[in-house]
Structure 1
Amino acid sequence: MPATTTRNRSVPTVSGVEQVVLLDEDGAAVGTADKSGVHGPDTPLHLAFSCYLFDADGRLLVTRRAFGKTTWPGVRTNTCCGHPGPGEPIDAAVHRRLASELGVHGVTLELVLPRFRYRAVMADGTVEHELCPVFRGVLTGPVAVPEPDPTEVAECWWQPWAEFVAAADPRGDGAADPLSPWGQVQVAELTALGPDPLHWPVGDAAALPPAARLAV
C-alpha cells in the first residue's frame, strides 16, 4: 500500500449513528451494525484497525484507554484503534482517529499486518471480535504534542519501542498494568518483523480483508 498523508474526514454515519462493517469468515462485508451496540457476549466479526505511531527516533506514542470505555477501560495499549465506517477507506479511518482521539496530524501511514485477527473476552463476558489490519504511522514533522480526547484516551506518552516491548508482560491480564489483549498479540507479530519499527517491511495490500480494500 502506498504511503498516505493526513486527510480530514468526518465520522461516517447513517442518520447520525456511527456504524461498523460486519464481516464473513473471509473478511467480506455482509452488513453493518450500530457501533454503540455491536459489542456484547456474542459480538459478530467486524472490521477494525490498529495504529502504532512513531517519531523519527522510533519512539511509540502509547495510550491508556479512557476509563469510561465499554471495552477494556483504563488499559494500556497502542496509539489508537478504531472502525472504518461503511464505504470509508481504512487509511482514511486511521487518519480520522489519530486526529479526533489525539489531535495528531502530519502522519505517513504504511500497512504492516494486513490480516491480523483476534477475539478476546472481558471478565464481564463482553467480547471483542475483529479483523484488524495494523498500520505503522510515522510523524512527518516535529514530535507532536498530543491533545487527547478524554472520552477516548485517559493519558498518553512517548516510549522507546524496546521499552514498550519489554513491558508487554507475557502474563497478560494478570500483570499489574496489562497491555490490551490485541496489543499482546500484535507485539509478538510486530517484533517478528525486526527490532527497528522504522524499518519493518510494508505489508501486501492485496492481503487485506476484502472489505478493507477500498484503500488500495
Structure 2
Amino acid sequence: MVTAQERVVLLNDDGTPRGVAQKAEVHHDRTPLHLAFSCHVLDEHGRVLITRRALGKRTWPGTWTNAFCGHPQPFEPIPDAVRRRAREELGLELADIRLELPDFRYRAVDASGTVENEVCPVYTARALGDPVLVAAEAMELRWVDPRDLAIALTAAPWAFSPWLVSQAAELSRADGEIRAAAWQRAA
C-alpha cells in the first residue's frame, strides 16, 4: 500500500538522480524514469517464489510476478530497501542478498495505459521462513521449480509482468552461484 510519505527517486536518462516525487503520483501514462528494484527469492530447495499482484495495485493488478519489487527512498541504500520491502510485502526475512543485474532497465505499458519506466537493479535472496501475504500488495504466492517457471514464461509471457519475463531471461544467461542454482537449470 502506498503511503503519503513514500517517495521515488527520479532519474535523468543517464541514470543520475534529478529529484524526487510522491510514489502515489508518479505512475501514469507519462511516468518519468525513476529508481526501483526487483528481488527474486529462493527457498532451501531452489524453488523460486512468484506472487500475484493485488487487484488494487496501480500497475499490472492481478498479474503474476517475481517475489517483490519496490522503490528505495531517497538516500536509502537499495539492499536496505530490499530488506524493508520483503518485510512489508511478505513478512519475510532474507539472507544472501545479491545484486545480480545492476543495469536492468525497462519501460512497459499495462492494459490501462499506465507506464512503468524504471532503472531497476535485480537482486536474488534466500528466504528465511515462510512468506505471509499482505493483502494490499499480493493476493497469492507459489513456490515453483525454475524449469516450470521458464516453461510458463515462454508459453504465456502475457500472463506475467513484463519485468519478470525480461529478468528471468537475463538471469538464466548470467553467471553466479544463486543464479546458477535457480535460473541456469531453467534455461
| TM-score, reference length from structure 1 | 0.78
Q: Structure 1 residues 158 and 33 mapped into 2: Cα distance closer, same or farther (>3 Å)?
A: same
Q: How far is 1:124 from its partner?
A: 2.1
Moved over 6 A (4+): none
Deviation string, structure 1 residues 107-140 (Cα, Å, up to 9, x no partner):
220000000000001122110000000001013x
In structure 2, what residue type is equivalent to 1:153? Answer: A
In structure 1, what residue type is equivalent to 2:145? Answer: P
* Aligned match of 1:127: 115
* Aligned match of 1:62: 50
* Aligned match of 2:162: 181
Task: Map 1:7-156 to 2 at 5 A.
Answer: 17-139=5-127, 141=128, 144-156=129-141
Q: How far is 1:171 from its partner?
A: 4.9
1:190 aligns with 2:178: no
Gaps of 5+ in 2: 182-187
* Aligned match of 1:158: 143
- Aligned Cα RMSD in Å? 1.8
Q: How far is 1:49 from its partner?
A: 0.2
Deviation string, structure 1 residues 72-95 (Cα, Å, up to 9, x no partner):
000000000000000100000000
Q: Structure 1 residues 55 and 35 mapped into 2: Cα distance closer, same or farther (>3 Å)?
A: same
Percent same amino acid among aligned pairs?
46
Aligned equivalents of 1:191, 1:101: Cα separation in 2: 25
* Larger RCO, structure (CA 8 Å, separation 6 or more): 1
Gaps of 5+ in 1: 1-12, 201-216
In structure 2, what residue type is equivalent to 1:87? Answer: F
Q: How far is 1:54 from its partner?
A: 0.4
The count of aligned residue pairs is 179
Q: How far is 1:37 from its partner?
A: 0.6
Q: How far is 1:195 from its partner?
A: 10
Q: Structure 1 residues 170 and 131 mapped into 2: Cα distance closer, same or farther (>3 Å)?
A: farther
Deviation string, structure 1 residues 190-215 (Cα, Å, up to 9, x no partner):
11126974537xxxxxxxxxxxxxxx
Q: Structure 1 residues 196 and 159 mapped into 2: Cα distance closer, same or farther (>3 Å)?
A: farther
Q: How far is 1:60 from its partner?
A: 0.7
| TM-score, reference length from structure 2 | 0.90
Aligned equivalents of 1:38, 1:89: Cα separation in 2: 21
Q: Structure 1 residues 170 and 31 mapped into 2: Cα distance closer, same or farther (>3 Å)?
A: farther
In the alignment, is the contact (CA less than 8 A) between 1:17 and 1:34 conserved in 2?
A: yes
Of Structure 1 and Structure 2, which has the larger fraction of its residues in helix?
A: 2
